[in-house]
Structure 1
Amino acid sequence: MSNKDVAACIRAALDEYFKDLDGQPPHAVYDMVMGCVEKPMLEYVLHRAGGNQSKAAEILGLNRNTLRKKMQLYQIE
């Protein structure tokens, strides 16, 4: 799947979200999207790295401490 395809999927999901609001004001869209994407991404990369946080942080382009904070935020062990 290309970046273009991923972007199209995200746009379609956001279109559906705003449609489902049925006139209600949106709230915390950024946090909602990041929560939907970031946790499974972190879990996937940690799994691919064999649970090695330093290796996962390198793959993600994050500092290891940042990864650990995100793991705590999402309650990832």
Structure 2
Amino acid sequence: MSIQKSEPPVDLLPATPLSHHVAETLRIYFHNLGGQAPSNLYDLVLREVEPPLLDIVMKFTHGNQTKAAIILGLNRGTLRKKLRQYGLAEPAREEHCSADRGLLKT
């Protein structure tokens, strides 16, 4: 009687490191510039990476900003600012918090 090893589910297989994807994308970006000088590359990369990072962490924590801030290593106020910046803040929750503080304009 032989025991067959089954393959692990695809989502449990080791993934390609994020740094590899970033490096490859940047190589393509520079190649596609066609000799033009890049500008504001740091901001461009952050605008591409931060929104999905924040979105996935917020979903993982079921919208708990305190837990998300801890996972991200950010101050909760900084997390809130970034969520608003990228349009990821929950409007109903933001309005409720503002109303509680008497900051909601009518």
TM-score, with structure 1 as normaliser: 0.90
Aligned-residue RMSD, C-alpha: 1.1
Percentage identity across aligned positions?
Answer: 44
Distance 1:8 1:25 in 2: 23
With CA pairs under 8 Å and 6+ residues apart, which has the higher RCO, 1 or 2? 1
1:1-54 deviations in Å (ceiling 9; x for gaps): 36xx22121111000000101011101100111111111000000000000111
Structure 1 or 2: larger helix share?
Answer: 1
Structure 1: tracts of 5 or more residues without a match: none
TM-score, with structure 2 as normaliser: 0.67
Structure 2: tracts of 5 or more residues without a match: 1-14, 90-106
Partner residue of 2:65?
53
SS of equivalent residue, structure 1 residue 37: helix
Q: Which runs of 4+ in 1 moved over 4 A?
A: none
Distance 2:18 2:88 in 1: 24
